Amino acid sequence: MAGHYGSSEHIEYLLRLGDNALVLGQRLAEWCGHGPALEEDVAMANIALDLIGQARLLYAHAGRLEDCGRDEDAIAYLRDPPEYRNATLAELPNSGVASAGAAQGDYAVTTARNLIFASYHCEGWRALATSSDRDLAAIAAKSLKEARYHLRHASDWTIRLGDGTEASHRRMQRALDSLWPYTHELFETDAVETAVAHHGIGIESASLRPSWLAIVRPILTEATLAIPGDTAFRSTGKLGRHSEHLGYLLAEMQSLARAYPGAQW
């Protein structure tokens, strides 16, 4: 039966978790030096570093299971976009889907995405804390604490901006509307998830959607934001079919490691 400990599905599953964390972390790190206020600048960098730390643990674990000599750096820096398994939502630019390519990030987009991911991670890590993969369970327990803080930060800003001025409300709603179609991918269960779930290693992410909505809905309601309707659109990042944005993100992130193989601090 596929999906047993150390199987290719198990490794694929760990890479999905790690890639979500790394790619989102890299996006948030782009705010460093560009945040709307010094305090928020530091907060984004903190959250980014939490996520990158999670990715490192997951990659190191996946590398050991895979046992073909790849360490966390090789997994992060030497894979091309089609080998990345993050959900497309994580790689979308900070400026938003509609104004992609704009030099400036849109804090409403970052806030909405952080809300979506932090609540998703809270539910996901909580479930994975009892994984039969004890390393994964330990990573989940650590990451859950971090995700709880990320959720607090994101929900606080969602409410402030949503229930703020007319302009902040409008921008928050626009950001939410543009990102919502990408949330469906987070809850798409495929053969990989079913296989690892069968062995108690992972979970079928479709099972998370009701509890995720139960977190997100009251926050959006308090923020006076309308929950967008569901659409048939399905992004496919976790299958390795990404938007055009991931290549640019990886090019920047990987350039040093590829130009100077094995570079050390």
Partner 1 sequence: MNRTEWPLWEVFIRSRQGLEHKHCGSLHAADAKQAIQMARDVYTRRQEGVSIWVVASNAITASDPDDKEALFDPMADKIYRHPTFYELPEELKHM
Residue 231 binding partner 1, by CB under 8 A? no
User: Based on CB atoms, which residue is closest to partner 1, 42 or 227?
Assistant: 42
User: Based on CB atoms, which residue is closest to partner 1, 45 or 257?
Assistant: 45
- What number of other Cβ atoms are within 10 A of residue 160's Cβ? 13
φ, ψ for residue 139, nearest 5 deg: -65, -40
**Whose structure tokens read 């705010």?**
31
Residue 16 binding partner 1, by CB under 8 A? no
Tokens of 205: 């992410």
Residue 166 binding partner 1, by CB under 8 A? no
Candidates 74, 81, 86; CA nearest to 257 is 74
Residue 156 binding partner 1, by CB under 8 A? yes
Stretch that binds partner 1, among 60-68, 95-103, 115-123, 151-159 (CB under 8 A): 151-159
User: C-beta of 42: minimal distance to partner 1 in Å?
Assistant: 5
User: Based on CB atoms, which residue is closest to partner 1, 224 or 255?
Assistant: 224
**Longest pairwise C-alpha distance within the chain:** 55
Residue 152 binding partner 1, by CB under 8 A? yes
Candidates 151, 249, 203; CA nearest to 17 is 203
DSSP string, 156-189: HHHHHHHTS-HHHHHHHHHHHHHHGGGGGGGG--
Return the residue of 33, 39, 229, 265 that touches partner 1, per CB under 8 A: 39
User: With the C-alpha atoms ordered 23, 25, 28, 29, is the resulting torsion angle positive or negative?
Assistant: negative
Stretch that binds partner 1, among 18-26, 42-50, 98-106, 208-216 (CB under 8 A): 42-50
User: Based on CB atoms, which residue is closest to partner 1, 26 or 168?
Assistant: 168
Tokens of 136: 């994964």
User: Based on CB atoms, which residue is closest to partner 1, 46 or 207?
Assistant: 46
Residue 167 binding partner 1, by CB under 8 A? yes
Residue 38 binding partner 1, by CB under 8 A? yes
